[in-house]
Amino acid sequence: MKSEQKIIKELKKSLKQLLPIKGLEVEMAVGLSSNTSDSLDLVARVEYEGLSFRLIIEAVAQNSLPVFKNKIAKLKAASVQHNDVLPVLVAHYLSPQRRSMCQEEGICFIDLSGNVHLKFKSFYVEKVGFPNKFPEERKGRDPFSDKASLILRAIIEDGEHLWGVRELAQATHLNPGYVSRMAKELEHRNYITRVNSKLKLRDPEGILNDWVRNYNLRKNRIFGYFFMAASSADILKRLRDLKIPSNIDYALSVQAGANLVAPYAVFTEVHIYVGNKKALAYFEEQLNLSKAEQGANLVLMLPYYKHSVFYDSRIVQRLRVVSNIQLYLDLHGYPVRGLEQAEHLLDKKLKAKFVRPDA
């Protein structure tokens, strides 16, 4: 990729500034007798105080977790063939989380913002804590935008299915041309692969990891209310008693929704997505709600994801609940035991839908 070639080019220019070590000599673009050497981004020889070894380098330009994990796997596969090589991942910037992932996998790193971890026998360099000098520019199409997320929702929900573009367009009610363009972006991010021109899911947990970093529950328009009820269970009972008409779009989410699907955490607030202001007014009137600046026990939300929030919602215990994917997104950013409930939901419900990346 051109962006990764650019990183390698910048690395060559700035290596002396990144590694200002007296007596260190680095020769770029040396050979490596390996079946994988031709596909590596760069191989360099290092000489330092009588120690000689080679760096095998892969550049990563995207923030996609599946791409990142694929680069690590490639470096590990290349490094096992030699005992004098040091696998190194290079990027414009690596977050503390990504740097930790590298070290857990035995991969060293250099980022062009100044963070470095290199260790080979007696040679050791550790410099961390430098901020990102290359703020990420939004490029390409955003797979986590409202309409585009319908594609991810469909392929994750049926992880073993091989999707044709037109079939996927029909399932999501999207234009086939749009689905085709988004499929190229998903493939570029390593979220999907192609099998006989069909689309196949890869690394769904990696996708969800990227997704929650791009999602914020606060983007919804949130209205807090106080409802006269002894408990959250009483609120749910009252909602069931309403016999909500079919022309009112709604679905429970966050802890109340998760409690109906995979109960785990105690909760005191009931969150409900409503499709429009008409639905908002319906619940306000039927439940005689009073707006609350603090101490709300019922929260109505006009969705940021207007097209996709109700996708794959279902009736559970006589109440409509958003999909498990939407529950996971909402819970992950909810401060009161949301992360615990999200991980429980992942283990109990979502993982059953996943297929192994290379299965």
The C-alpha atoms of residue 242 and residue 285 are separated, in whole angstroms, by 11
| pLDDT value at residue 295 | 86
Mean pLDDT, range 129-140, rounded to an integer: 76
pLDDT tier, 139 (very low <50, low <70, confident <90, very high otherwise): low
Q: Which amino acid is at 334?
A: Y
pLDDT tier, 201 (very low <50, low <70, confident <90, very high otherwise): very high
Are 267 and 341 within one domain?
yes
Are 103 and 200 within one domain?
no
Question: Can you give 125-164 as a three-state secondary structure string?
Answer: EEECCCCCCCCCCCCCCCCCCHHHHHHHHHHHHCCCCCEC
Are 164 and 291 within one domain?
no
| pLDDT value at residue 32 | 54
**Within a domain: residue 139?**
no
Q: What is the CATH number of the domain that holds 330?
A: 3.30.460.40
| pLDDT value at residue 82 | 83
Angle subtended by helix axes 324-332 and 204-213, to nearest 10: 50
Pairing relationship of beta strands 198-201 and 250-253 according to DSSP bridges: unpaired
- In terms of residue numbers, what domain contains 47? 2-127
The C-alpha atoms of residue 307 and residue 302 are separated, in whole angstroms, by 12
Q: What is the pLDDT of residues 295-305, one digit of tens each?
A: 899 999 999 99
Are 114 and 207 within one domain?
no
Contact 59, 41 (CB under 8 A): yes
Domain-terminating residue out of 127, 158, 191: 127
Mean pLDDT, range 278-284, rounded to an integer: 97
Are 198 and 79 within one domain?
no
The C-alpha atoms of residue 56 and residue 139 are separated, in whole angstroms, by 28
**Within a domain: residue 135?**
no
| pLDDT value at residue 158 | 86
CB count within 10 Å of CB 83 equals 7
In the predicted structure, residue 21 carries a pLDDT above the cut 70: yes
Domain-terminating residue out of 196, 214, 232: 214
Q: What is the pLDDT of residues 64-116, one digit of tens each?
A: 889 999 999 999 999 888 888 999 999 999 999 999 999 999 999 999 999 99
CA angle 226, 230, 236 (to 5 degrees): 75
| pLDDT value at residue 181 | 95
**Within a domain: residue 18?**
yes
Are 304 and 206 within one domain?
no
The C-alpha atoms of residue 109 and residue 268 are separated, in whole angstroms, by 45
Contact 272, 299 (CB under 8 A): yes
Beta partners for residue 111, in sequence order: 91
In the predicted structure, residue 359 carries a pLDDT above the cut 50: no
Mean pLDDT, range 154-168, rounded to an integer: 93
Domain-terminating residue out of 93, 127, 161: 127
**Within a domain: residue 357?**
no
Are 245 and 315 within one domain?
yes
Are 192 and 264 within one domain?
no
Contact 261, 329 (CB under 8 A): no
Q: What is the CATH number of the domain that holds 79?
A: 3.40.1350
CA angle 28, 33, 35 (to 5 degrees): 110
Are 27 and 118 within one domain?
yes
**Within a domain: residue 304?**
yes
Mean pLDDT, range 114-124, rounded to an integer: 94
pLDDT tier, 125 (very low <50, low <70, confident <90, very high otherwise): very high
Are 223 and 296 within one domain?
yes
Q: Which amino acid is at 191?
A: Y
Contact 186, 204 (CB under 8 A): no
| pLDDT value at residue 135 | 76
Are 275 and 345 within one domain?
yes
R_g of the chain computed on alpha carbons = 25
Q: For the stretch 95-119, what's the b/e string if a residue is b when 16 or more beta carbons lie within 10 angstroms of its beta carbon?
A: eeebbebbeeeebbbbbbbbbbbbe
**Within a domain: residue 54?**
yes
| pLDDT value at residue 3 | 84
The C-alpha atoms of residue 180 and residue 194 are separated, in whole angstroms, by 12
Q: Kindly report the pTM of this predicted structure.
A: 0.76
Are 45 and 106 within one domain?
yes
| pLDDT value at residue 332 | 94
Q: What is the CATH number of the domain that holds 177?
A: 1.10.10.10
Contact 48, 23 (CB under 8 A): yes
**Within a domain: residue 166?**
yes
| pLDDT value at residue 83 | 83
Distances (CA, A) of 268 to 120, 255, 283, 295: 53, 9, 18, 10
In the predicted structure, residue 118 carries a pLDDT above the cut 90: yes
The chain-wide mean pLDDT, for the chain, equals 91
pLDDT tier, 352 (very low <50, low <70, confident <90, very high otherwise): confident
Helix or strand holding residue 346 (H, E): none
Overall domain count for the chain: 3
The C-alpha atoms of residue 31 and residue 247 are separated, in whole angstroms, by 68
pLDDT tier, 134 (very low <50, low <70, confident <90, very high otherwise): confident
| pLDDT value at residue 355 | 53
**Within a domain: residue 293?**
yes
| pLDDT value at residue 137 | 58
Contact 259, 231 (CB under 8 A): no
Which residue from 165, 102, 158 is spatially nearest to 128, judged by alpha carbons?
A: 102
